[in-house]
């Protein structure tokens, strides 16, 4: 029987592809050198501008694998080619793939393993970090872009992340907001880092959105974060506030014995299943009376004081109710942020050697220099 070694065939084909890519690139470099010289190699003509001075080897990682390039050297001018950028060590598609992998939540160690499996070469963590710097400018440009159209519905929320700062790991809040346009499309309005979810942080974030052109906001859907609610009333006074029903249910369940949570959930869901606000308010009063009859006074008191905050959505088109009762449209994005940030653990400080705050315009954590950090280390040692 004839046995076919598929692994050897793949290796042979891969070597053929690498050889072809290497030969083609070197031919293109030679043609570029001939154009700069004004004549071919060893060709004598009057219009010749320069002559060859040998070549030097340079490695380049491509999708076909690592290749060796012979970079021509000229006597009178510096050889500059449009084929490969100066100091470039990887094909642009390879660099884009590395950036995409990191942004997708792949750890640096996994990036090293993947690149070795795909292209036969490993990249260092520093290489991945340097490549990511190329997109920082685009990210900052996106964060400060102009918000063009009206967004009647806005869903803000925050998530706690870990940040390394001056040798310590601290909690910082990542403030996120999405909006729904008049055409019904969701759009991420902005993301900003702040020390915590307090009034000052939310005020700065909402003002940042308003300065960029956020307008036409009719309803803000969020949890009962006091700083967010107060800031929204000041920055966007014309917008109404809808308390997230799911978060409110959890607040009520915390005041109910575990054996009665299922029954309490049915009663609460019945409130928000009514056909209009008046019927929902009447049903709420009936549920409050039932909770008090079951000696659940604290749960009844919470529903009596803040239950009306979950009925704001009734003032909008009924086809939108199911999407406006909670901030679930934003929860999917928050889960994705957690998933992609989990492999990092604690994000490193951005400006370790400068008098710049780590956080963005939402407020600075502190202003520390290299000398200040050294002083802190000395104190700990003492």
Give CA torsion, residues 219, 224, 227, 228, to 10 deg. Answer: -20
Say if residue 51 is in the same domain as residue 197: no
More confident residue, 42 or 290: 290
Domain closes at, from 127, 143, 159:
143
Tokens 């929204």: give the residue.
232
Is 15 within the bounds of a domain? yes
Say if residue 153 is in the same domain as residue 237: yes
Domain closes at, from 43, 71, 88:
88
pTM for the whole structure = 0.64
Say if residue 234 is in the same domain as residue 348: yes
pLDDT, one tens digit per residue, over 339-363 is 777 766 666 665 433 323 333 333 3
pLDDT at 239 over 80: yes
Tokens 């920082």: give the residue.
136
Say if residue 191 is in the same domain as residue 312: no
Span of 124-133, 166-175, 334-343 with lowest mean pLDDT = 124-133
pLDDT, mean over the chain: 76
How far is Cα 166 from Cα 129, in angstroms, rounded to an integer? 20
Mean local confidence (pLDDT), 213-227: 92
Domain closes at, from 125, 143, 161:
143
Q: What is the domain extent for residue 69?
A: 1-88
Q: What is the DSSP string of 80-139?
A: --SSS-TT--B-HHHHHHHHHHHHTT--HHHHHHHHHHHHS----HHHHHHHHHHHHHHH
Is 330 within the bounds of a domain? no
Q: Which is nearest to 72 in space by CA: 90, 88, 56?
A: 56
Say if residue 228 is in the same domain as residue 351: yes
CATH of residue 345's domain is 3.30.420
Cα–Cα distances (Å) from 42 to 34, 35, 76, 92, 190, in that order, read: 10, 14, 16, 33, 60
What is the token pair recorded at 218? Answer: 């009719």
Say if residue 270 is in the same domain as residue 123: no
Say if residue 63 is in the same domain as residue 113: no
Is 40 within the bounds of a domain? yes
Is 332 within the bounds of a domain? no
Say if residue 264 is in the same domain as residue 300: yes
Say if residue 231 is in the same domain as residue 161: yes
Q: Which is nearest to 330 in space by CA: 190, 123, 126?
A: 190
Percent of the chain with pLDDT over 70: 66
3-class DSSP state of 301: helix
Is 12 within the bounds of a domain? yes
Residue 277 is predicted with a pLDDT of 94
Say if residue 236 is in the same domain as residue 342: yes
Span of 18-32, 48-62, 192-206, 325-339 with lowest mean pLDDT = 18-32
Residue 68: strand pairing partners? 59
- pLDDT level of residue 216 (50, 70, 90 thresholds): very high
How far is Cα 162 from Cα 344, in angstroms, rounded to an integer? 9
Residue 193 is predicted with a pLDDT of 82
How far is Cα 84 from Cα 29, in angstroms, rounded to an integer? 9
- pLDDT level of residue 68 (50, 70, 90 thresholds): confident
Mean local confidence (pLDDT), 261-283: 94
Say if residue 260 is in the same domain as residue 379: no
Cα distance from N-terminal residue to C-terminal residue, the chain: 77
Cα–Cα distances (Å) from 69 to 53, 72, 83, 148, in that order, read: 16, 9, 12, 48
Q: Are 151 and 209 in contact (CB under 8 A)?
A: no
Percent of the chain with pLDDT over 90: 37
Residue 179: strand pairing partners? 154, 187
Is 42 within the bounds of a domain? yes
How far is Cα 246 from Cα 303, in angstroms, rounded to an integer? 13
Is 331 within the bounds of a domain? no
Cα–Cα distances (Å) from 372 to 105, 352, 355, 380, in that order, read: 33, 11, 11, 13
Total count of domains within the chain: 4
Say if residue 6 is in the same domain as residue 137: no
How far is Cα 116 from Cα 203, in angstroms, rounded to an integer? 47
Is 34 within the bounds of a domain? yes
């Amino acid at each position: 029987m004839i046995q076919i070694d598929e692994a050897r065939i793949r290796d042979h084909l891969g070597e053929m592809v690498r050889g072809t890519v290497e030969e083609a690139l070197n031919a293109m470099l030679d043609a570029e050198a001939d154009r700069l010289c004004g004549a071919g190699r060893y060709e004598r003509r009057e219009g010749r501008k320069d002559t060859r001075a040998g070549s030097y080897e340079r490695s380049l990682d491509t999708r076909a694998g690592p290749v060796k390039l012979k970079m021509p050297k000229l006597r009178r001018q510096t050889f500059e080619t449009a084929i490969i950028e100066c100091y470039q060590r990887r094909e642009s598609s390879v660099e884009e793939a590395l950036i995409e992998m990191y942004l997708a939540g792949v750890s640096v160690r996994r990036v090293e393993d993947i690149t070795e499996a795909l292209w036969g070469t490993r990249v260092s963590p520093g290489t991945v970090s340097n490549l990511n710097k190329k997109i920082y400018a685009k990210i900052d440009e996106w964060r400060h872009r102009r918000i063009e159209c009206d967004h009647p519905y806005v869903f803000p929320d925050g998530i706690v992340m870990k940040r390394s700062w001056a040798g310590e790991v601290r909690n910082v809040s990542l403030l996120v907001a999405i909006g729904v346009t008049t055409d019904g499309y969701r759009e991420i309005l902005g993301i900003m880092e702040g020390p915590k979810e307090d009034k000052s942080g939310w005020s700065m974030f909402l003002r940042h959105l308003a300065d960029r052109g956020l307008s036409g906001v009719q309803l803000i859907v969020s949890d009962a974060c006091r700083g967010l609610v107060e800031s929204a009333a000041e920055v966007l006074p014309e917008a109404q506030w809808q308390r997230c029903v799911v978060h409110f249910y959890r607040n009520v369940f915390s005041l109910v014995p575990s054996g009665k949570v299922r029954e309490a959930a049915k009663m609460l869901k019945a409130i928000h299943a009514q056909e209009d606000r008046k019927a929902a308010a009447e049903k709420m009063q009936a549920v409050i009376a039932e909770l008090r009859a079951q000696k659940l006074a604290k749960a009844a008191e919470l529903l009596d004081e803040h239950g009306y905050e979950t009925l704001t959505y009734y003032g909008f088109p009924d086809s939108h109710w199911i999407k406006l009762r909670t901030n679930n449209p934003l929860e999917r994005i928050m889960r994705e942020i957690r998933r992609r940030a989990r492999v990092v653990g604690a994000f490193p400080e951005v400006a370790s050697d400068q008098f710049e705050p780590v956080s963005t315009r939402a407020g600075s954590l502190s202003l520390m220099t290299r000398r200040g950090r050294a002083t802190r280390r000395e104190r700990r040692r003492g």
